[in-house]
Amino acid sequence: MRVLYIDDDRINSLLFVEACRFAGGVETETAASGAEALELVQRWRPDLLVVDLHLPDTNGYALLPALRAQLQAPTLPAFLCTADETAVVAGPAQEAGFDGCWSKPVDLQSILAELARRGGHNEHSGLDRN
């Protein structure tokens, strides 16, 4: 499974990458801004997106449709990640097309469980994952 983690906080990115490495079978890339994420997906196609709500050049709500459009993948699974109170942003996140909302600091066990749950065949890449 290929996961793109978009967050301008380097520590959060490192924690996420290490958690995915520990899980095994997960290839990760990170981006620190919306522009960097849009440039990255021109050459690397993720199976799942994790998008920070507050980025230096945009917000997660605006970035998700741009990423899905560029990838031509309108149903690409995506999770909003935020330090804001998740009860407040969960509704708007769902309306914006996110599959769920994760709070910061990230709960690595929940993330690993979600990645494992989604670890089967992915229609976007055609890859089988274990």
Q: Which domain holds residue 29?
A: 2-117
CATH code (residue 66): 3.40.50.2300
Total domains in the fold of the chain: 1
DSSP summary character for residue 59? B
Query: CA 121: distance to chain centroid?
Result: 18
Q: Each residue of 72-116: pLDDT tens digit?
A: 999 999 999 998 887 788 899 999 999 988 888 777 777 778 778
Length of the chain: 130
pTM: 0.85
- Whether residue 123 lies inside any domain: the answer is no
Q: What gap in Å lies between CA 68 and CA 76, rounded to an integer?
A: 7
- Whether residue 57 lies inside any domain: the answer is yes
- Whether residue 124 lies inside any domain: the answer is no
pLDDT at 1 over 70: yes
- Whether residue 127 lies inside any domain: the answer is no
